[in-house]
């Protein structure tokens, strides 16, 4: 089994591959990162290493709808659609359409997709598109007058919601006809708390155990959305009117935008786990196993939920711990999603950090607690027998990349910190994405 870590800007995009004994490989693509990084890094690899070898993407897992995970997936779907149209007309001698060959390399076939589309699964009326359209209108009409923080919030919310809707439409039978959540009969992908066997699935010789999300989280999410729509339907209609009138005269003030974002806070804030958004809490998470090697995919989930899912699936030892070959650190290494207890319980040979310094991710505090769980005091260290083994931090970006001043400054701090760790602990290693490369490869 091997893991490809793609250069993915501020987002996630990873590929699990494993030989199936027939001379072919099975592939699981998890998220797509941002559009630019997808086209530059992910698409060429998929064309050369999968399509070029007459193989398929057996499963595309969209962990959740945040833009830094789903935008690249949308780009993949758009590319699929363009190539499908081109190939159809090319193979049809009676076609008179002048269809140009797509500029980007042809992607492989996608056999199935895991995607929790709440707009499709729950009858939530028109709340999702209403919210997305309102936010997009704000962005288009007032972008030059917003400060960076507010603009980022508006852009993130609008993009994430609209892309989730777009993806749901693209995979329908009348378009790309990709099998949605087939192991769940088209319903939500979730961790079954009573029947472990329902969480276990196979992709070739890769065993997958779904550890999240839980039905309780999805139910809470549904109730939040219904309540939000009931409370804000009239507000949204009034906001559209105000927005249209105001835009003709003067830009909305930051105070007005802030008020709307606060009033619509339940779009993303559950309050169950502080500072973690609704889509993040609903992240699809799983443990992949093959030939004694393990990869833990955590999306943007919370450490408590990861531990809970592993425990429900009986993956923890008698001390409540687990050592894996690869741990994809949740939510780009954000401190809100990880704590000391998690780092003591879950250790790895390889720790993967996806992010490029945006929002100061990966956070220095997260690097510290992971390091302490391996090389700290007795009270800080994990009880896992592998605690003193060699291990590596993998980063999907490089401080020498073309970054904003803020991103570069943070990534340089990360570099300084891990270089200090390396000097103190020779069995520790770190790897930033080479500036002339678009992916890391971890062979297990």
Element (H, E) at 297: strand 293-297
Q: How far apart are CA 79 and CA 85, in angstroms?
A: 10
| Contact predicate 181/113, CB 8 Å | yes
- Determine the distance from the C-alpha atom of residue 277 to the mean position of all C-alpha atoms in its chain, rounded to a whole number: 13
The whole-angstrom separation of Cα 246 and Cα 230 is 25
pLDDT of residue 392: 99
In the prediction, which pLDDT does 171 show? Answer: 66
**Neighbouring C-beta atoms of residue 233, cutoff 10 Å:** 14
Tokens 């007005």 appear where? 256
Distance in angstroms (rounded) separating the CA atoms of residues 80 and 105: 10
Contact of 380 with 418, CB cutoff 8 Å: no
Name every residue whose Cβ is closer than 8 Å to that of residue 203 and which is 6 or more positions away in sequence.
26, 28, 58, 59
CB 208 within 8 A of CB 200: yes
Q: Please tell me whether residue 37 adopts helix, strand or coil conformation.
A: helix
Burial 384-401 (b: 16+ CB within 10 A, else e): beebeeebbbbbbbbbeb
DSSP state of 60: E
The whole model's pTM is what? 0.83
Residue with the two structure tokens 């790309």: 176
Query: Among candidates 335, 273, 332, 325, which has minimal Cα distance to 299?
Result: 332
Question: What's the rounded Cα separation, in Å, for the pair 164 and 179?
Answer: 16
d(C-alpha 27, C-alpha 55), whole Å: 8
Is 277 in a helix, a strand, or coil?
strand
**What is the phi/psi pair of residue 32, to 5°?**
-125, 0
Is-contact 345 382, C-beta < 8 A? Answer: yes
Q: Classify the C-alpha dihedral 416-421-422-423 as positive or negative.
A: positive
Helix (H) or strand (E) holding 230: helix 215-249
- DSSP string of 61-113? EE----HHHHHHHHHHHHHHHHHHHHHHHHH-TT----PPPPSSPPPPPB-EE
Residue 399 confidence (pLDDT): 98
Q: In the prediction, which pLDDT does 218 show?
A: 78
Question: What would the two tokens of residue 84 be?
Answer: 């499908």
Structure tokens that stand for 40 in this block = 């530059």
β-strand pairing of 206-212 with 112-115: unpaired
End-to-end CA distance of the chain: 5
> In whole angstroms, what is the distance from residue 51 CA to residue 358 CA?
32
Q: What share of the chain is helix, strand, coil (3-state, %, to 5)?
A: 45, 20, 35
Annotated domain spans of the chain: 316-434
Write out the chain's pLDDT in tens, 444 residues.
Answer: 999 999 999 999 999 999 998 889 999 999 999 889 999 999 999 999 999 999 999 999 998 777 777 888 888 988 988 898 888 888 887 776 778 899 988 999 999 999 887 555 444 444 445 554 544 444 444 444 444 554 455 455 555 555 555 666 666 666 778 898 999 998 889 999 889 999 999 999 999 999 999 988 777 766 765 665 565 555 555 544 454 444 434 444 444 444 444 344 433 332 234 455 555 667 899 999 999 999 999 998 899 999 999 999 999 999 999 999 999 999 999 998 999 999 999 999 999 999 999 999 999 999 999 999 999 999 999 999 999 999 999 999 999 999 999 999 999 999 999 999 999 999 999 999 999 999 999 999
Q: Give me the residues paired with residue 323 across strands.
A: 347
Nearest-angstrom CA–CA distance, 223 and 441:
41
- Nearest of 178, 168, 62 to residue 115 by alpha carbon: 62
- Coil, strand, or helix at residue 205? coil
Contact in structure between 41 and 438 (CB atoms under 8 Å): yes
Burial of 146 (0-12, 13-18, 19+ CB in 10 A): buried
């Amino acid at each position: 089994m091997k893991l490809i870590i793609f250069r993915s800007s501020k987002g996630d995009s990873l590929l699990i591959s494993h030989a199936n004994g027939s001379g072919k490989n099975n592939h699981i693509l998890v998220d797509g990162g941002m559009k630019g990084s997808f086209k530059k890094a992910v698409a060429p690899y998929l064309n050369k290493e999968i399509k070029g070898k007459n193989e398929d993407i057996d499963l595309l897992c969209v962990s959740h709808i945040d833009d830094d995970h789903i935008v690249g997936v949308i780009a993949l779907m758009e590319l699929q659609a363009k190539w499908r149209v081109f190939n159809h007309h090319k193979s049809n001698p009676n076609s008179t359409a002048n269809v140009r060959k797509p500029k980007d390399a042809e992607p492989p076939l996608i056999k199935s997709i895991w995607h929790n589309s709440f707009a499709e699964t729950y009858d939530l009326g028109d709340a999702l598109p209403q919210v997305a359209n309102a936010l997009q209108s704000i962005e288009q009409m007032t972008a030059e007058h917003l400060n960076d923080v507010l603009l980022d919030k508006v852009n993130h919310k609008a993009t994430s919601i609209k892309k989730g809707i777009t993806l749901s439409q693209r995979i329908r039978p009348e378009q790309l006809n990709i099998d949605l959540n087939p192991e769940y009969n088209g319903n939500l992908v979730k961790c079954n708390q009573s029947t472990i066997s329902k969480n276990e699935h196979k992709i070739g010789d890769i065993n997958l155990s779904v550890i999240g999300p839980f039905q309780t989280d999805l139910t809470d999410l549904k109730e939040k959305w219904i309540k939000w729509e009931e409370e804000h339907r009239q507000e949204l209609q009034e906001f559209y009117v105000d927005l249209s009138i105001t835009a003709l005269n003067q830009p909305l003030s930051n105070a007005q935008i802030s008020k709307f974002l606060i009033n619509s806070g339940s779009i993303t804030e559950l309050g169950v786990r502080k500072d973690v958004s609704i889509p993040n809490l609903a992240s699809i998470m799983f443990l992949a196993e093959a030939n004694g090697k393990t990869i833990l995919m955590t999306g943007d989930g919370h450490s408590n939920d990861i531990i809970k899912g592993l425990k429900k699936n009986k993956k923890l030892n008698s001390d409540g711990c687990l050592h894996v070959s690869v741990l994809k650190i949740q939510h780009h290494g954000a401190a809100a999603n990880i704590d000391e207890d998690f780092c003591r319980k879950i250790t790895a040979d390889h720790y993967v950090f996806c992010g490029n310094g945006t929002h100061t991710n990966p956070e220095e505090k997260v690097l510290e607690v992971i390091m302490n769980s391996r090389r700290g005091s007795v009270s800080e260290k994990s009880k896992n027998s592998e605690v003193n083994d060699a291990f590596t931090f993998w980063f999907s970006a490089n401080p020498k990349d073309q970054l904003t001043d803020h991103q570069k400054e943070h990534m340089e701090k990360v570099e300084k910190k891990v270089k200090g760790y390396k000097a103190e602990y020779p069995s520790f290693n770190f790897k930033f994405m080479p500036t002339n490369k678009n992916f890391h490869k971890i062979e297990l």
